[in-house]
A = this chain, B = another copy of it.
Amino acid sequence: MERATEAWAIIHSLVVARRHRIPEVAAELGITPGDVFALLSLLAEEPKPMRDLAEAWRCDASNVTWQVDRLEERGFVERRSVEADRRVKQVALTPSGLEAQARVLAFMHVPPDELLNLGPELLDQLIGVLSRIDPGRQPDCRPT
Contact = CB atoms under 8 A, between A and B. Distances in A.
A40 to B, nearest CB: 7
Nearest to A122: B129
A129 B119 CA distance: 11
Nearest to A57: B20
A111 to B, nearest CB: 4
Interface residues of A, number: 55
Number of copies: 2
Majority secondary structure, A binding face: helix
22 contacts: A4-B115, A4-B116, A4-B118, A5-B109, A5-B110, A7-B126, A7-B127, A8-B109, A8-B110, A8-B112, A9-B109, A10-B127, A11-B14, A13-B139, A15-B144, A17-B140, A18-B141, A19-B141, A19-B144, A20-B142, A114-B134, A122-B129
Given A8-B111, A122-B132, 14 more contacts: A3-B123, A4-B115, A4-B123, A5-B110, A8-B112, A11-B130, A15-B15, A15-B144, A16-B139, A19-B141, A20-B142, A114-B134, A122-B129, A125-B129
